[in-house]
Amino acid sequence: MEHSNNGAARRVGIRPLVVIATTGIAVGFALVIVSIGLDWHGFGGGFAVGAGVGMMLVGAYCWGYSGGMHRRASTRWWRPSAGGSR
On the CB side of 71, how many CA atoms lie within 13 Å of its CA? 7
Percentage of the chain lying above the pLDDT 70 cut: 65
The residue type found at 77 is W
Mean pLDDT of the chain: 78
Using pLDDT thresholds of 50, 70 and 90, give the confidence band for residue 53.
Answer: very high
Angle 72-64-34 from CA coordinates, rounded to 5°: 160
Hey, where are the domains in the chain?
2-70
CB atoms inside a 10 Å sphere around CB 83: 7
- Is residue 13's pLDDT more than 80? no
Model-level pTM? 0.63
